[in-house]
Structure 1
Amino acid sequence: MSFETNKLVGKAGRLAVPAGAAVALVLTAGMFFHHNGVHAAMASPAPMDDNSVSSLVALDSAVEAVAARVTPAVVNVAVTSRGSSEHEVGEEQEQGQEGGQGQIQGLPPGFAQFFGQGPQGMQRPQQPQIEHGIGSGIIISPDGYIVTNNHVVDGAVQIKVTLHDRRVMNAKLIGVDKLTDLAVIKVDAKDLPSIAWGDSTKLKPGQTVLAFGSPFGYFQFSVTRGIVSAVDRPNPYRDDPRKPGGYIQTDAAINPGNSGGALVNARGELVGINTFIISNSGSFAGAGFAIPSQIVRATTEQLIKTGSVHHGYLGISMNDVTPENASFFNLKEATGAIVAQVTPDSPASQAGLKSGDVIDELNGQKVVNGGALQVAVSEDTPGTQITLGILRNGSPQTLTLKVGEFHKDAEVASNGDSAGPQKGKLGLAVAELTPDVRQQLHIPSEMKGVAIQSVRPASPADEASLAPGDVILEVNRHPVVSAEQFVNEAHANPAGKDLLLLVWSQGGASYRVIHPDAGNQSGM
């Protein structure tokens, strides 16, 4: 489960230790008693000399230097926003019921009309609930431009920024980009400490990074140290496959309130913006994620210049090439991006890109996976001409096209991989795409295939993330136009051999590899 890191879930009091308890521990450790009186404690060992710990001392000094350089540019972002009044209404209703006769308990006679219900049962107008949120930000220019997350300032009616010198200033919202979850705000100031940009494309797993921010909203200007756990992590959100991935994963502690804070490299350069954690508890569990500076810099520069962001798009859905699907596309290496769906009248469609093509080069540079291609395309200015190197049934070709402009209702290059091993029977039932089914599932009239009617729990179909309402378009690269054809194609697949399905789900198509059980081929 993903958690946005400005959601506050902790209490500072839980971390407090009474001062008296600490004193008692010191006294107990410092002496002991027996019948002859008080004796001095055993002598403590001498501290280690500098030569013995020179490497650790040097590491500490380096980290201290980086922290001292970056911390003045870190800010705390406090947001006041208007939230939903549903929670407030619910509380009032409960209180009214407890008080009997629709009145709130504990109010003097005649005062109830001011707190919900009057003598004639009149309800006071419901006011929007005021919500307060805490996040972090980083100053990127001396004249007061600050980068943070969109989800930190979303719906804000007031934004206040606390600088490192404890000054509190009102901030103006310059612009937001919901697709990348980034925002730029500005304070009216000059000669502020700022941070230098770093190159996130040069990050390697194992490199030291520091995370800055305000964990839990209480502990402003905190710094944690860790390493880069991984790079180019895909977008974990299932709500919109068009959101670019490329996230930096780190074990530097990131907690609620750290959203919008800086992730810096050993040189003190900004390489990422902390944005979410994956945790069952809502607090840090060793996996924090940051938006790479490659995306942050391009987005913020557009926001500062125009107040909005124009993302490039191709009009395709993609899968990564993997060892298990490479053979279906006559590929020798498990690298590249498989085109799963092409949007009609999109730049990709006009250039002749087809479902099943494998994109292995962008402007002469190797495409490692769909996520890398997606990030690169989304950063391109609409109208930019690019060259794609593709493999069509194993044969290399080159296509030239102009990048289109992403709109909210259009398809951007998206990475729709499903992860995890699948074993066992198919475990699904399909149905024809009747007019009623198309209307219910919002399936375009030109789309051909079969709808998944049911999926058996713990089956290969379930483990491949197939779900009722998905549409199967192809089996082993063969288009499917009826339920009968799908069953025939699946039964014709050799016992124990994987099947490759092209599946349309939630507005995008992706390839799924299914591992059926060799001992059970009689049913779906």
Structure 2
Amino acid sequence: MDTPIRTSPSLLDRIRGRRLATTFTLLATLSVGILVGSVLTHGVSGKEQATVDSSDAKPLVIPSPVTLSNGFSQIVKQVGPAVVNITTDSLPKQSAVKKNHRGQRAPQGGNDDDQQQPGDMQDFFNRFFGGQGGDGDDDGGFGGERKALGSGFIVDSRGYIITNNHVVDKADKIFVRLSTDPDGGAPGEEGRPAHVVGVDKDTDIAVIKIDSKEPLPTVKLGNSDSAQVGDWVLAIGSPFALSKTVTAGIISAKNRSIDEPGPNGVSQSQFQRFIQTDAAINPGNSGGPLVDMAGNVVGMNTAIYTQSMGSQGVGFAMPANTIASVYNMLIGPEHKVVRGSIGISFQPALSSAVGRMYGFTNGVMVSTVTPNGGAAKAGLQPGDVIVSIDGRNIKDGDDLVADISARHVGTMVKLGYLRNGKQETANVAIGDRAKTYSDLAGDNDDNAAPQEEDAGQNKLGITVSAVPPQIATKTGTKGGVLVTTVRPGSFADEINLVKGAIITEINKKPVTNEADYKAIVSALKSKDDVVFVVHYPQQKNSGNSYVGGTLP
């Protein structure tokens, strides 16, 4: 029988044996560690879950409401309900009247009758307050629908609202949301429709109205002359569409002028003297109230200086006294502001050397005299220096403008002036500033047609022309006007009055030519029913077709 031979283990077997022993040792160590950790963790968990006696803890108590010393919240509760949010829609439009020389400044500018024209300041307003700005479409071509945002405040419980002209300028639709209306803006939820009562571009003030079955809350207008630099004020409005937003600051300065020069370097803001404030004003605040600590509106937020498209602590508000004066004229029968004029122009800033050479320290040196104006009829000449009004010494051109423009047309004023160093006086009749400088610019003859044509464009959204003889023969119509353009989204577009239609009657009144058409359209007012009798060139000897609707 064979006997097995015993041999010594190889090196590989020894290594394997030792590795296995080491592995078992490590596993045993880890198992002990896990067991100990579990016991310790169980002990800690037990401590955390133990019930703690909190019988000595005192519950928190919400204190009763208290009135803070600054009173801001009381002012907001008082004024806030009368502050509104305004949104506007501007539909695509194409200018049919080319710009002319209307409203150009007189040489040396700065006169007491200059009519403010859209320019750098208007672009400034539009850019920073969500106005219609960038009026590129006005020079031709159709643009897209534009929306604008602003604020306003109710001054009459029947629905009369004050805001900025640049908020509603060129708007086809205006909507107002009250503080009690839900925030929105979805189709059909824009707000209550409003219409323009009157505007004054010179002060950038507009009056609009909404219909309401119930009396609306109103603000209380204050006397802006009593406001002092350093007084606390609140600005209330809808910046960036955030309605009912309130910011606080102080009055930083008064009687501040924003000199936005026109093409010839002359300020275009002759009637704009602002209250400056550091209360935060942003796009959408425009037209909202600036309120003092008595809850009185002392100004209307109008403009800001900024390099960031937001508030940098330099805002401007139109004083309440100016607002009240303009408002009272805009709600009058003519719905416009009439300012007095003596028919002169002057250079607003003169070197002190000029005063020394011509022998005066305070006063206004006449640059031009309007033919047939009050000053011309009283004998004033270029080079005369006006130094007093009704015996009161005047300081400068702003003083002269403020006094004369506030006077009623047809009244008389006694001017004191210097001619060749000699004191003289003259009784001067106050004229209509707008008419005086329209005459000076020679616009009367060529302005009538564009103004009447604008009535058709603005109210109806159409332009018309005489009916060509061949079309009249084809349709068998006598007279009438041919619709040449229809603005998308306009009243005419909404009632399906199409391009190419021939209008022969409006509201039962015959339209035989363009003059008839313009006369009838000029008399139309908001909320009027308008019915057109039309014929279509595509249909020979077609009968009457009736197209109508209610003007917005």
Relative distance call for 1:234 and 1:210 in structure 2 (3 A) is: same
Range that drifts further, 304-313 or 276-285 = 276-285
Give 1:68's aligned amino acid.
Answer: K
Asked whether 1:211 is paired with 2:235, we answer yes
Match of 2:208 in 1: 185
| 1:116-515 equivalence runs, <5 A | 129-166=144-181, 168-189=191-212, 190-233=214-257, 235-238=259-262, 241=268, 243-306=270-333, 307-318=335-346, 319-320=348-349, 323=352, 325-332=354-361, 335-407=362-434, 410=437
Relative distance call for 1:130 and 1:374 in structure 2 (3 A) is: same
Aligned counterparts of 2:75 and 2:420: Cα–Cα separation in 1: 51
In the TM superposition, what is the alpha-carbon distance from 1:390 to its structure 2 partner? 3.0
| 1:76-87 equivalence runs, <5 A | 76-83=85-92
Partner of 1:140, secondary structure, is strand
In the TM superposition, what is the alpha-carbon distance from 1:405 to its structure 2 partner? 0.8
Aligned counterparts of 2:439 and 2:249: Cα–Cα separation in 1: 35
Aligned counterparts of 1:205 and 1:359: Cα–Cα separation in 2: 32
Q: Contact conserved, 1:197 with 1:269, CA < 8 A, in 2?
A: yes
Match of 1:458 in 2: none
Aligned counterparts of 1:402 and 1:195: Cα–Cα separation in 2: 38
Aligned counterparts of 1:392 and 1:263: Cα–Cα separation in 2: 45
In the TM superposition, what is the alpha-carbon distance from 1:366 to its structure 2 partner? 4.1
In the TM superposition, what is the alpha-carbon distance from 1:211 to its structure 2 partner? 2.3
Range that drifts further, 396-405 or 297-306 = 396-405
Q: Contact conserved, 1:298 with 1:379, CA < 8 A, in 2?
A: no
Aligned counterparts of 2:256 and 2:305: Cα–Cα separation in 1: 16
**Structure 1: tracts of 5 or more residues without a match:** 1-55, 87-125, 414-524
In the TM superposition, what is the alpha-carbon distance from 1:340 to its structure 2 partner? 2.9
Matched pairs, number: 317
Aligned counterparts of 1:323 and 1:248: Cα–Cα separation in 2: 28
Aligned counterparts of 1:391 and 1:310: Cα–Cα separation in 2: 29
In the TM superposition, what is the alpha-carbon distance from 1:188 to its structure 2 partner? 1.2
Aligned counterparts of 1:136 and 1:373: Cα–Cα separation in 2: 33
In the TM superposition, what is the alpha-carbon distance from 1:231 to its structure 2 partner? 1.4
Aligned counterparts of 1:353 and 1:221: Cα–Cα separation in 2: 53
Relative distance call for 1:290 and 1:325 in structure 2 (3 A) is: farther
Aligned counterparts of 1:324 and 1:213: Cα–Cα separation in 2: 48
Match of 1:501 in 2: none
Q: Contact conserved, 2:84 with 2:176, CA < 8 A, in 1?
A: yes
Aligned counterparts of 2:292 and 2:354: Cα–Cα separation in 1: 36
Give 1:294's aligned amino acid.
Answer: N
Q: Contact conserved, 2:254 with 2:276, CA < 8 A, in 1?
A: yes
Aligned counterparts of 1:254 and 1:156: Cα–Cα separation in 2: 23
Relative distance call for 1:395 and 1:264 in structure 2 (3 A) is: farther
Aligned counterparts of 2:350 and 2:303: Cα–Cα separation in 1: 27
Deviations along 1:194-219, whole A, 9 cap, x unmatched?
12222233444333333222222334
Range that drifts further, 153-162 or 164-173 = 164-173
Q: Contact conserved, 1:314 with 1:412, CA < 8 A, in 2?
A: no
In the TM superposition, what is the alpha-carbon distance from 1:146 to its structure 2 partner? 0.5
In the TM superposition, what is the alpha-carbon distance from 1:136 to its structure 2 partner? 0.9
Structure number having the greater helix percentage: 2
Match of 2:103 in 1: none
| TM-score normalised per structure 1 | 0.54
Deviations along 1:150-180, whole A, 9 cap, x unmatched?
1111111211111111263221211112222
Equivalent of 2:76, from 67, 75, 79?
A: 67
Q: Contact conserved, 2:373 with 2:436, CA < 8 A, in 1?
A: no
Relative distance call for 1:243 and 1:221 in structure 2 (3 A) is: same
Aligned counterparts of 1:251 and 1:68: Cα–Cα separation in 2: 22
Aligned counterparts of 1:338 and 1:270: Cα–Cα separation in 2: 37
Aligned counterparts of 2:169 and 2:400: Cα–Cα separation in 1: 28
Match of 1:502 in 2: none
In the TM superposition, what is the alpha-carbon distance from 1:246 to its structure 2 partner? 2.3
Give 2:360's aligned amino acid.
Answer: L
Give 1:186's aligned amino acid.
Answer: K
Relative distance call for 1:316 and 1:130 in structure 2 (3 A) is: same
Greater C-alpha Rg:
2
Relative distance call for 1:375 and 1:214 in structure 2 (3 A) is: farther
Match of 1:490 in 2: none
Match of 1:434 in 2: none
Aligned counterparts of 1:139 and 1:66: Cα–Cα separation in 2: 16
Q: Contact conserved, 1:302 with 1:308, CA < 8 A, in 2?
A: yes
Q: Percent identity at matched positions? A: 36
Aligned counterparts of 1:257 and 1:279: Cα–Cα separation in 2: 15
| TM-score normalised per structure 2 | 0.51
Partner of 1:354, secondary structure, is coil
Q: Contact conserved, 1:137 with 1:148, CA < 8 A, in 2?
A: yes
Relative distance call for 1:70 and 1:363 in structure 2 (3 A) is: farther
Q: What is the RMSD computed on CA atoms of the aligned residues?
A: 3.3
In the TM superposition, what is the alpha-carbon distance from 1:234 to its structure 2 partner? 5.7
Give 1:402's aligned amino acid.
Answer: A
Give 1:182's aligned amino acid.
Answer: I
**Structure 2: tracts of 5 or more residues without a match:** 1-66, 96-140, 183-190, 441-552
In the TM superposition, what is the alpha-carbon distance from 1:133 to its structure 2 partner? 0.3
In the TM superposition, what is the alpha-carbon distance from 1:232 to its structure 2 partner? 4.7
Partner of 1:161, secondary structure, is strand
In the TM superposition, what is the alpha-carbon distance from 1:325 to its structure 2 partner? 4.6
Q: Contact conserved, 1:242 with 1:412, CA < 8 A, in 2?
A: no
Runs of 4+ in structure 1 over 6 Å off:
none
Give 2:318's aligned amino acid.
Answer: I
In the TM superposition, what is the alpha-carbon distance from 1:237 to its structure 2 partner? 4.6
| 1:20-39 equivalence runs, <5 A | none
Aligned counterparts of 2:198 and 2:410: Cα–Cα separation in 1: 23
Partner of 1:166, secondary structure, is coil
Aligned counterparts of 1:412 and 1:145: Cα–Cα separation in 2: 34
Q: Contact conserved, 2:301 with 2:315, CA < 8 A, in 1?
A: yes
In the TM superposition, what is the alpha-carbon distance from 1:242 to its structure 2 partner? 7.4
Relative distance call for 1:408 and 1:212 in structure 2 (3 A) is: farther
Aligned counterparts of 2:385 and 2:277: Cα–Cα separation in 1: 31
Relative distance call for 1:328 and 1:65 in structure 2 (3 A) is: farther
In the TM superposition, what is the alpha-carbon distance from 1:292 to its structure 2 partner? 2.2
Q: Contact conserved, 1:311 with 1:405, CA < 8 A, in 2?
A: yes
